[in-house]
Structure 1
Amino acid sequence: MQKNPMTVQGEAALREELDRLKKHDRPKVISAIAEAREHGDLKENAEYHAAREQQGFIEGRIQDIEAKLSTAQVIDISKIPSADKVIFGATVTIVNLDNDASVSYTIVGDDEADVKSNKISYQSPIARALIGKEIGDVVAVRTPGGEVDYEIDAVHYGS
């Protein structure tokens, strides 16, 4: 079985969502189904059908999260001694050598990736180019607009 790397924060967020789905959302939709059943004919009962559809989404998401957690390999980067090397979970500051623009990314698992928060998947082209490199190294990243050269300016372990 393939393990999926995940940060401690990513695992906590999934467990929190799972807990909310099981303890809050699932009972709420079951109650809505029961209430809609009391309204009579189920064939033309839009509330009933909407609640059943919502129940399907909730149960599907619960199964999805449970599967992800069962294959998760949680990596606590705060327990790894800091170094200059880019690894999973590290926050990396890179400088575009063409325009001197600087940006920082945290390399995370697929489920945690959020470009708006500068969290990129370890499988993304940028992360794959950066992992294993060190401060001062120049990496070439293929982008839709062509290849871009970045210099690794800083590496931080932990939040």
Structure 2
Amino acid sequence: MSRGFVKEEDQEEAPFIPPRASLPAGVTNYVTPVGHKQLLEEREELEKERRELNIDNDKERRHATAVIDGKLNLLNERIASARVLQPGEQPKDEVRFGAKVGFKFLAGTQAGKEQTFQIVGVDEADIKARKIAFLAPLARALTGKKLGETATVPMGGKLQELKITEISYS
């Protein structure tokens, strides 16, 4: 049937499905056990939301269902590709995936200031919770370093020198 015979109000726009955190092609989707649990809980919540969808209008219900299904498809792909790494199995004296890393700024306006972050998977990253993705420039600069070593990382348009003051896995 030609589009000329379709009423405009019967045409539906494809729903916008928000993308997940970026994971470049070919990069392994590492997750911590906590991050994996969060992904599974997110899936349960979306499935529950779909089951309990209470919208009388057919068009609105189809749209809401399509959004939830789109989110579920992206989430299921992420769960299927997840490779859970146990932080406790990492070398204790070296910054690796899952490490909680403390460091001190050695120069500049933040000289002497200390910070602590945990290196986690892309879906688990949350700057407010002090968790950074293993792909972040800071995480990449710190990975492989040992206690007392320094790392140079671009921050705020400048190269910052950081000294590792703590490495722990919990």
Scaled to the shorter chain, the TM-score interval is: 0.7 to 0.9
- Which ranges in structure 1 are unaligned for 5 or more consecutive residues? 37-47
C-alpha distance in structure 1 between counterparts of 2:164 and 2:93, whole Å: 10
Taking every aligned residue pair, what percent have the same amino acid on both sides?
Answer: 30
Q: Could you list the runs of 4 or more consecutive aligned residues of structure 1 that deviate by over 6 angstroms after TM superposition?
A: none
Q: With structure 1 as the length reference, what TM-score do the two structures score?
A: 0.83
Deviation at 1:144, TM superposition (A): 3.1
CA drift of 1:19 comes to: 1.1
- Deviation by residue 1:22-73 (Cα, 9 ceiling, x = unmatched): 1x211122x42xx32xxxxxxxxxxx43333221221011111110011100
Aligned pair in 2 of structure 1 residues 2, 93: CA closer, same or farther (>3 Å)? closer
Paired residues, what number?
142
In structure 2, the partner of 1:26 is 50
Measured in 1, the distance between the counterparts of 2:35 and 2:90 equals 21
Q: What TM-score, normalized to structure 2? A: 0.78
Quick check: which one's helix share is greater?
1
| Matches of 1:109 and 1:129, distance apart in 2 | 16
User: Does the aligned pair in 1 maintain the 2:90–2:96 contact within 8 Å?
Assistant: no
For residues 122-143 of structure 1, the C-alpha deviation after alignment (integer angstroms, 9 at most, x for no partner) is 0111000010110000111012
**Which residue in the other structure is 2:8 paired with?**
none
Report the AA paired with residue 19 of structure 1: E
- Paired residues of 1:82 and 1:156 also in contact (CA < 8 A): no
Question: Does 1:108 find its partner at 2:120?
Answer: yes
- Partner secondary structure for residue 111 of structure 1: coil
- Is the Cα contact below 8 Å between 1:84 and 1:154 reproduced in 2? no
Whether the aligned pair in 2 keeps the contact of 1:85 and 1:133 (CA below 8 Å) is yes
For residues 115 and 81 of structure 1, the distance between their equivalents in structure 2, rounded to whole angstroms, comes to 23
Check 1:134–1:69 CA distance in 2 against 1; reply closer, same or farther (3 A cut): same
> Corresponding residue for 2:166?
154
- Alpha-carbon offset, residue 3 of structure 1: 3.0
Check if 1:8 corresponds to 2:8: no
Q: For residues 73-116 of structure 1, what are the alpha-carbon distances to aligned partners after superposition, in whole Å with 9 as ceiling and x for unaligned?
A: 001112x1662200000000010112100000000011111111
**Partner in structure 1 of residue 133 of structure 2:** 121
